Structure 1
Amino acid sequence: MSQEFSEETHRNMLSRIPDATGRDMADWLRTVDEGPSLTNFDEKVSWLRSMHELSYGHAKAIIHEYDLRRAARKLG
């Protein structure tokens, strides 16, 4: 996996995504969930960037949040 943001940086990035992209996090997480079944973090970031013209930082934050929530579901 690519180097992760600090927790504070990650939360700050997430809070800016709706204004920067015009879409809320729930919409982005649904987009990733409905996207291709990629397993590699960097592949998912690249797919999101190329399909939705996102910056690297925004795509990375979205995928990181998606992976965090997916892992939490598996543990719950």
Structure 2
Amino acid sequence: MTLNHSPETQTKIIARVPTITGRALPEWFRTIDNGPAFLRCDERANWLADEHGLTHGYAVAIVLEHERRRRGRHF
């Protein structure tokens, strides 16, 4: 599984997250922070998809955005 989207694709997916999922990004980030302590991003994405009914693409995008913001990197 790849966790890398093009910057353009990532931006488009992230912009649609609240509409598609019904939850804003900060809510998803808190869910990740309060979830299991996975070491790998793909494990977090799989957990989000399985536990919260997200499609794989949205789960990956949310995890990737969470990591980027946590590390202070933005597109």
With structure 1 as the length reference, what TM-score do the two structures score?
Answer: 0.88
Q: Deviations over 1:7-58 (max 9, x none)?
A: 1110100011101010011111111011111011111111001110000110
Q: Tell me which stretches of 4 or more aligned residues in structure 1 moved more than 3 Å.
A: none
> 1:40 — aligned with what?
40
- Say if 2:31 is the partner of 1:31: yes
Computing the radius of gyration from Cα coordinates, the structure with the larger value is: 1
Percentage of matched positions with identical amino acids: 40
- Say if 2:19 is the partner of 1:19: yes
> 1:61 — aligned with what?
61
Question: Is this contact kept in 2: 1:38–1:44, CA < 8 A?
Answer: yes
Question: Is this contact kept in 2: 1:49–1:55, CA < 8 A?
Answer: yes
Question: Are residues 43 and 37 of structure 1, via their aligned partners in 2, closer, same or farther at CA, if it must alter by over 3 Å?
Answer: same
Listed as ranges, the gaps of 5+ residues in structure 1 are none
Instruction: Tell me by how many angstroms 1:2 deviates.
Output: 2.4
Higher helix share: 1
Aligned residues: 73
